């Protein structure tokens, strides 16, 4: 350069253009040279290097081309007033990216740039490209630095933001901290005290990291809720199995959702939420109830998700219908035929629960019964929209039969419940008990449920079929409409959920054959078993073709204890007659048949199917990847019950003015911190919420 100050101004000019996102073009090299008074080819070459060293921007012609001429009189003032230009004189020959420069202070002397060791104050030249090797050599032999490192072992760790975010996310997942912890003032102060270079991160940033880290797909559930303020809210939940093979379920959003609530509006709303979380490419399935608007929404969402990231088998198994909702529709049909004796019992329970005086009189009746009853506690009144509450009311009333009879004798206002009516009530309770047990099994949020789907559905089918020959008239009357409703929704079983049974090492194909044999003739059994097996193999081949299975299980062999999140003990009732040792094995032909031909795992208390597949991920990586996706599918949307109950406690008549965004923060953070455990008074909240929402039966 003829004028070094003009070269510095050139750097300032380019830097200011980049900072302000100014878009410009240089008409020719000669114009650049003349504008900045560059006279040598070396100067021009250095100028080109400066341009290409900057981060790339979409350059285009600008309306104004800046010319810097006649600045000789102003050069000194600019250099004195511009701190950036002063630093450029020190380090701008080439950006110093080596971590070794964190241990040096750069200063300017009359003869150029110098580096000063922070520990021993040794000085060395640092002009232009020179100095990195010398600095590294000095650091290794600097006694003051060695002593400093020995007394401060963590001092030589250079802050890396990606590592910081990763470690923070791992601590949140491991300890169950709330996502908002990253925004806590004292947490930020603590981290800045440990390292002043720490950058702030938000709750959404940390959540996107957590959702993006695991390599399995995400299974969604969504539903609507109407608050006591008559305002509609929409909840979106994510379910996935992480790299440590732990099942996770989180409320992503609890958004205010104004009308209309048709399929197109729900689709656009869900799509915007997925884009907000940046997870549209990781979605595997969505579980919803049978509302017609949901059917339209799911079809549009399937096409949209498939266009951004191809779904297995073109999204054939994307739509999952809520099994608990279907089961509720089936049982509600039967309860419409309920006997008058149950209605009489309901009036008795309502009468007892209507005042403290009557509750005290009932407690006295219990004491007066003495050894004739072991009932302790209180009766519960059912909610007509929740059939399981009717079952609980009947079950507790049967336990307190003697006390109820004595109470009715003392209260002349009530009709007597005769022995024949008690027998009918008992028959109804026995008939509803399997449905209650299966609903409890379906409703789990801390353990996989898809491996229980097929066995439960077939047991319900067999129960309804056998009920046509039940000696009780009321059971036969209830079974007929229930069978019609079952045939409408479950005449064809969900294939993707049926795969869960095959992925359970305690059952596999032999159990599938055993289940169908209890209902169908051998020819029909063979056809159904082959259909499921063929579909399972087709899905396996799709995974094998589209995935790099050897990279999937990087974290699978890490040491971690079992999750201890097992299915309820009542699940064993569903398959109590299955004997794996009586079943023949299949001929080994592929990885699928090789797995199916493995010895059955003994069903023991504490068996964890996720731990099993974690151990098998090395031998069967593609099957393990399938297992992670399929076992993460929630077969119900019951997890919303917790979100809705939390919303009901947060947004009540005394707090009806809460802003929707604050309601969302409180509900979502609770799910991340405490999971989906219902509290004692949640049933009342849920019943009110359910009555405020669109009627399930109307939506079927």
Q: Average pLDDT of the chain?
A: 75
Poorest-pLDDT segment among 140-149, 181-190, 393-402, 686-695: 686-695
Mean pLDDT along residues 3-8 = 56
639 burial level (CB within 10 Å; 0-12, 13-18, 19+):
buried
pLDDT level of residue 286 (50, 70, 90 thresholds) = very high
Higher pLDDT, 94 or 145: 145
Taking the C-alpha atoms of residue 571 and residue 582, their distance in angstroms, rounded to an integer, is 21
Taking the C-alpha atoms of residue 211 and residue 590, their distance in angstroms, rounded to an integer, is 33
Q: Looking at residue 677, what is its pLDDT?
A: 54
Q: Looking at residue 285, what is its pLDDT?
A: 94
- Residue-wise pLDDT for 114-148, tens only, equals 889 988 998 888 876 667 888 888 888 888 888 88
pLDDT level of residue 356 (50, 70, 90 thresholds) = very high
Taking the C-alpha atoms of residue 566 and residue 603, their distance in angstroms, rounded to an integer, is 12
Q: Looking at residue 1, what is its pLDDT?
A: 42
Mean pLDDT along residues 151-174 = 70
SS3 248: strand
The whole-angstrom distance between residue 597's C-alpha and the CA centroid of its chain comes to 33
Residues whose CB falls within 8 Å of the CB of residue 308, separated by 6 or more in sequence, listed in order: 280, 281
Residues whose CB falls within 8 Å of the CB of residue 650, separated by 6 or more in sequence, listed in order: 658, 663, 666, 667
Taking the C-alpha atoms of residue 541 and residue 374, their distance in angstroms, rounded to an integer, is 58
User: Is a pLDDT exceeding 50 seen at residue 176?
Assistant: yes
Strand pairing class (112-117; 247-256): unpaired
- DSSP class of residue 386? B
* C-beta neighbour count of 511 within 10 angstroms: 21
Q: Highest-confidence range of 487-491, 560-564, 665-669, by mean pLDDT?
A: 487-491
| Among candidate residues 609, 590, 586, 615, the one with its CA nearest the CA of residue 599 | 586
Mean pLDDT along residues 468-481 = 90
- Taking a C-beta distance cutoff of 8 angstroms, is the pair 606, 566 a contact? yes
Poorest-pLDDT segment among 28-32, 254-258, 291-295, 389-393: 28-32
Mean pLDDT along residues 476-493 = 91
Residue carrying the six token digits 């009516």: 421
* C-beta neighbour count of 206 within 10 angstroms: 22
Distances (CA, A) of 524 to 491, 499, 513, 518: 14, 19, 11, 11
Q: Looking at residue 174, what is its pLDDT?
A: 59
User: Is a pLDDT exceeding 80 seen at residue 213?
Assistant: no
Residues whose CB falls within 8 Å of the CB of residue 518, separated by 6 or more in sequence, listed in order: 458, 462
Taking the C-alpha atoms of residue 683 and residue 386, their distance in angstroms, rounded to an integer, is 10
Higher pLDDT, 346 or 23: 346
Instruction: Count the alpha carbons within 13 Å of 79 in the hemisphere toward its beta carbon.
Output: 16
Higher pLDDT, 513 or 558: 513
* C-beta neighbour count of 93 within 10 angstroms: 16
pLDDT level of residue 553 (50, 70, 90 thresholds) = very low
Strand pairing class (123-125; 112-117): antiparallel
* Cis status of the peptide bond prior to 260, with omega within 30 of 0: yes
CA-angle at 337, arms to 336 and 341, nearest 5°: 110
- Residue-wise pLDDT for 533-543, tens only, equals 999 999 999 99
- Residue-wise pLDDT for 52-93, tens only, equals 444 433 333 333 223 333 333 343 433 333 433 343 444 444
Mean pLDDT along residues 171-176 = 63
Q: Looking at residue 299, what is its pLDDT?
A: 94
Taking the C-alpha atoms of residue 609 and residue 452, their distance in angstroms, rounded to an integer, is 12
Residues whose CB falls within 8 Å of the CB of residue 651, separated by 6 or more in sequence, listed in order: 227, 228, 229, 658, 663
């Amino acid at each position: 350069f003829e004028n070094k100050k003009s070269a510095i101004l050139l750097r300032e000019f380019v830097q200011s253009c980049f900072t302000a996102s100014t878009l410009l073009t240089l008409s020719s090299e000669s114009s650049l040279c003349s504008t900045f008074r560059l006279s040598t080819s070396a100067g021009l070459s250095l100028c080109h290097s400066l341009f290409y060293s900057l981060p790339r921007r979409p350059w285009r012609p600008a309306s104004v081309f800046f010319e810097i001429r006649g600045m000789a009189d102003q050069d000194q003032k600019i250099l004195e007033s511009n701190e950036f230009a002063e630093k450029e004189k020190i380090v701008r020959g080439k950006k110093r990216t080596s971590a070794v420069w964190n241990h040096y202070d750069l200063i300017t002397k009359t003869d150029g740039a110098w580096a000063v060791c922070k520990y021993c104050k040794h000085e060395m030249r640092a002009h232009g490209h020179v100095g990195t090797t010398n600095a590294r050599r000095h650091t290794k032999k600097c006694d003051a630095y060695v002593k400093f490192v020995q007394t401060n072992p963590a001092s030589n760790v250079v802050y890396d933001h990606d590592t910081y975010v990763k470690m923070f996310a791992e601590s949140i997942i491991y300890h169950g901290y709330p996502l908002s912890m990253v925004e806590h003032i004292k947490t930020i102060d603590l981290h800045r005290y440990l390292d002043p270079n720490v950058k702030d991160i938000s709750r959404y940033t940390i959540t996107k990291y957590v959702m993006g880290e695991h390599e399995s797909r995400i299974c969604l559930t969504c539903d609507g809720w109407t608050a006591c303020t008559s305002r509609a809210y929409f909840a979106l939940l994510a379910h996935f199995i992480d790299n440590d093979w732990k099942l996770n379920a989180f409320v992503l959003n609890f958004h205010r959702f104004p009308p209309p609530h048709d399929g197109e509006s729900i689709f656009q709303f869900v799509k915007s939420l997925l884009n907000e979380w940046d997870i549209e490419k990781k979605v595997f399935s969505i579980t919803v109830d049978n509302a017609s608007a949901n059917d339209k929404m799911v079809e549009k969402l399937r096409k949209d998700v498939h266009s951004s990231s191809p779904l297995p088998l073109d999204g054939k198994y994307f739509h999952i219908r809520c099994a608990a909702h279907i089961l509720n529709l089936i049982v509600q049909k039967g309860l419409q035929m309920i006997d008058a004796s149950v209605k009489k019992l309901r009036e008795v329970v309502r009468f007892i629960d209507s005042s403290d005086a009557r509750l005290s009189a009932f407690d006295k009746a219990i004491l007066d019964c003495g050894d004739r009853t072991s009932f302790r506690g209180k009766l519960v009144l059912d909610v007509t929209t929740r059939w399981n509450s009717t079952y609980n009311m009947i079950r507790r009333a049967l336990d307190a039969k003697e006390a109820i009879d004595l109470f009715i004798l003392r209260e002349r206002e009530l009709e007597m419940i005769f022995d024949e009516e008690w027998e009918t009530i008992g028959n109804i309770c026995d008939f509803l008990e399997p449905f209650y047990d299966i609903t409890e099994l379906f409703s789990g949020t801390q353990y996989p449920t898809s491996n229980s789907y097929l066995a439960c559905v077939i047991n319900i089918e067999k129960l309804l079929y056998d009920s046509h020959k039940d000696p009780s008239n009321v059971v036969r009357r209830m079974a007929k409409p229930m069978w019609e409703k079952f045939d409408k929704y479950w005449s064809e079983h969900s294939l993707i959920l049926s795969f869960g049974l095959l992925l359970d090492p305690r059952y596999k194909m032999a159990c599938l054959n055993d289940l169908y044999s209890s209902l169908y003739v051998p020819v029909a059994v063979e056809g159904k078993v082959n259909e499921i097996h063929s579909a399972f193999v087709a899905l396996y081949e799709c995974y094998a073709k589209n995935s790099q299975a050897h990279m999937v299980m990087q974290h699978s062999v890490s040491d971690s204890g079992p999750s201890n999140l097992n299915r309820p003990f009542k699940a064993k009732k569903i398959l109590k007659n299955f004997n794996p040792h009586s079943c023949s094995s299949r001929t080994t032909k592929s990885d699928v048949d090789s797995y199916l031909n493995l010895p059955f795992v003994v069903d023991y208390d504490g068996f964890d199917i996720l731990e099993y597949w974690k151990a098998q991920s090395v031998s069967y990586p593609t099957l393990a990847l399938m297992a992670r996706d399929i076992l993460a599918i929630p077969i119900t949307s019951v997890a919303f019950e917790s979100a809705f109950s939390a919303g009901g406690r947060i947004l009540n008549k005394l707090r009806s003015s809460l802003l929707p965004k604050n309601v969302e923060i409180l509900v979502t953070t609770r799910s991340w911190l405490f999971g989906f455990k219902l509290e004692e008074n949640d049933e009342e909240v849920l019943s009110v919420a359910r009555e405020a929402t669109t009627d399930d039966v109307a939506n079927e």
